[in-house]
């Protein structure tokens, strides 16, 4: 049986919050809700888990902490690249002055 690949879709935070609220209040399982709304079960489970983390009901990085970590990693990568460029430039100019 051949599985079809689904195009990657993106959803707003508001839409995700609505799905999470539906999962928490409807009494239906995540599998049923996912099937009804044509979403992948794993995505809905991740959204529910992240909502629980954000609410303090579960251990893990909150959405705000996750965004900050991503930003800091990006900044760190840029700073390392800039440092490496400066090292190479220093070595280049040190060679020329001899």
pLDDT at 85: 97
Give residues with Cβ within 8 angstroms of 24, minimum separation 6. 48, 51
pTM: 0.71
Asked if pLDDT for residue 70 goes beyond 90, the answer is yes
Asked if pLDDT for residue 1 goes beyond 80, the answer is no
CATH code at 11-60: 1.10.10
User: How far is 71 from 51, CA to CA, in rounded Å?
Assistant: 21
What one-character DSSP code corresponds to residue 1? -
Q: What is the pLDDT of residues 26-62, one digit of tens each?
A: 989 999 999 999 999 999 999 999 999 999 999 999 9
What one-character DSSP code corresponds to residue 58? S
Structure tokens at 36: 């009804």
pLDDT at 4: 77
Q: What residue spans define the domains of the chain?
A: 11-60, 62-98
Structure tokens at 70: 């991503």
């Amino acid at each position: 049986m051949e599985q079809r690949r689904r195009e990657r879709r993106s959803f707003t935070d508001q839409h995700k919050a609505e799905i999470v609220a539906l999962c928490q209040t409807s009494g239906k399982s995540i599998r049923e809700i996912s099937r009804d709304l044509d979403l992948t079960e794993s995505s809905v489970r991740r959204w529910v888990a992240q909502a629980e983390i954000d609410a303090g009901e579960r251990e893990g990085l909150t959405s705000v902490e996750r965004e900050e970590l991503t930003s800091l990693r990006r900044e760190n990568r840029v700073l390392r690249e800039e440092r490496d460029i400066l090292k190479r430039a220093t070595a280049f100019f040190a060679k020329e002055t001899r």
